């Protein structure tokens, strides 16, 4: 069972795969920062809140990924609460099909990625600082997605969403999901400088400091970018993915192939923007070439 852990006077988090922030507002009401990754964590969070007789007043989504919004529908139905999401992310939360379509840059493959995800597209409201309780702060953390945000509670606890991941994720997954590589590096460096008394990254161990982990992320992302740069010349997108697997043993399945492909495409676009590479059609394939 995933437990609700107190990390400051009024700040808690559900210790599930995608951590959920819970802030006690008083009068038996809480706000949630994100809303669980799958049915089991939704159920465990619901149990923890019910045991304390706490009701959800509103939900803030840090970004649109399914593992952060899966409980939106459940908690809205139970409490009639509002859900807020940052600009752009909001559109993807409202219209879930957009996210899948964006992943494939076409109509999504029919096979469900992961049957434990059962989110519903929920109409959200625009997340701005005014809707947050006094003493809260919000920071833009673009890169992993277009407009992800981090939230600081009035207890000085930062929820840094997916801006930085655990070292083990880089060791096992090798090329994790980051939509925009250069912004992701800048964001990790920005997170390294955040001041607060406690930090809760969604997919890493929370603690009193995040600096070391954030700098590790910035470095790991730079290494991924230079790896792709080193194998891209003269290859197509598919050829680059094939070579990346050959050298780094990525062990693709359809889900991982798609997600790694998104990170790689972001890197290739960055190389085109920096005018280090060009891309041209050769024998009916788009080939990347070092200038």
Q: Is 89 a binder of Zn ion (CB under 5 A)?
A: no
Which one of 20-28, 42-50, 60-68, 191-199 is the stretch in contact with Zn ion (CB under 5 A)? 60-68
* Cβ at position 117, least distance to Zn ion in Å: 13
Which residue sits closest to Zn ion, CB atoms considered? 65
Nearest residue (CB) to Zn ion, 61 versus 229: 61
- Structural contact between residues 93 and 125, judged by C-beta atoms closer than 8 angstroms: no
Which one of 58-66, 78-86, 246-254, 266-274 is the stretch in contact with Zn ion (CB under 5 A)? 58-66
Nearest residue (CB) to Zn ion, 54 versus 71: 71
b/e string for 183-196 if b means 16 or more Cβ within 10 A? bbbbbbebbbebeb
- Structural contact between residues 39 and 17, judged by C-beta atoms closer than 8 angstroms: no
Round to whole Å and give the CA distance between 97 and 92. Answer: 8
Token duo for residue 9: 């006077």
Token duo for residue 235: 């290859």
* Cβ at position 35, least distance to Zn ion in Å: 13
Token duo for residue 132: 């947050």
Token duo for residue 61: 């989504």
The single residue among 19, 38, 57, 65 that binds Zn ion, judged by CB under 5 A, is: 65
Question: In 3D, which of 156, 137, 127, 130 has the Cα closest to residue 69?
Answer: 127
* Cβ at position 212, least distance to Zn ion in Å: 21
Q: Is 162 a binder of Zn ion (CB under 5 A)?
A: yes
Q: Is 37 a binder of Zn ion (CB under 5 A)?
A: no
Nearest residue (CB) to Zn ion, 89 versus 162: 162
Question: Which residues, 94 to 133, sit near Zn ion by CB under 5 A?
Answer: none
Q: Is 152 a binder of Zn ion (CB under 5 A)?
A: no
Nearest residue (CB) to Zn ion, 122 versus 162: 162
* Cβ at position 258, least distance to Zn ion in Å: 14
Q: Considering just the CA atoms, what is the radius of gyration of the chain in Å?
A: 20
Question: In 3D, which of 134, 125, 116, 28 has the Cα closest to residue 76?
Answer: 125
* Cβ at position 62, least distance to Zn ion in Å: 8
Residues forming a β-bridge with 277 = 290
Q: Distance of CA 222 to CAs 113, 119, 291, Å? A: 28, 33, 20
* Cβ at position 67, least distance to Zn ion in Å: 6
Which residues of this chain interact with Zn ion, rule CB under 5 A?
A: 65, 162
């Amino acid at each position: 069972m995933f437990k609700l852990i107190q990390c400051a006077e009024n700040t808690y988090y559900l210790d599930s795969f995608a951590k959920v922030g819970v802030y006690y507002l008083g009068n038996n009401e809480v706000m949630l920062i994100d809303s669980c990754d799958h049915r089991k964590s939704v159920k465990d969070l619901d149990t923890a809140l019910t045991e304390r007789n706490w009701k959800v007043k509103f939900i803030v989504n840090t970004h649109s990924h399914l593992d952060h919004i899966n409980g939106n529908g459940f908690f809205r139905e139970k409490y009639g609460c509002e859900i807020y999401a940052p600009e752009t992310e909001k559109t993807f939360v409202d219209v879930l099909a957009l996210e899948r379509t964006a992943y494939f840059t076409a109509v999504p493959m029919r096979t469900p990625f992961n049957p434990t995800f059962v989110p519903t597209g929920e109409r959200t409201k625009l997340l701005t600082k005014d809707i947050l309780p006094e003493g809260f702060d919000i920071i833009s953390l673009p890169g992993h997605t277009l407009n992800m945000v981090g939230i600081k509670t009035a207890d000085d606890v930062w929820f840094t969403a997916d801006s930085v991941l655990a070292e083990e994720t880089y060791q096992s997954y090798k090329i994790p999901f980051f939509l925009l590589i250069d912004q992701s590096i800048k964001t990790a460096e920005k997170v390294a400088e955040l001041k607060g008394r406690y930090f809760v990254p969604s997919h890493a161990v929370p603690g009193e400091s995040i600096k070391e982990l954030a700098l590790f992320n910035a470095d790991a992302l730079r290494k991924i970018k230079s790896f792709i740069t080193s194998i891209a010349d003269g290859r197509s997108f598919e050829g680059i993915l094939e070579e990346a697997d050959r050298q780094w043993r990525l062990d693709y399945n359809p889900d991982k192939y798609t997600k790694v492909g998104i990170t790689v495409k972001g890197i290739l676009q960055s190389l085109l923007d920096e005018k280090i590479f060009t891309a041209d059609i050769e024998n009916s394939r788009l080939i990347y070439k070092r200038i």
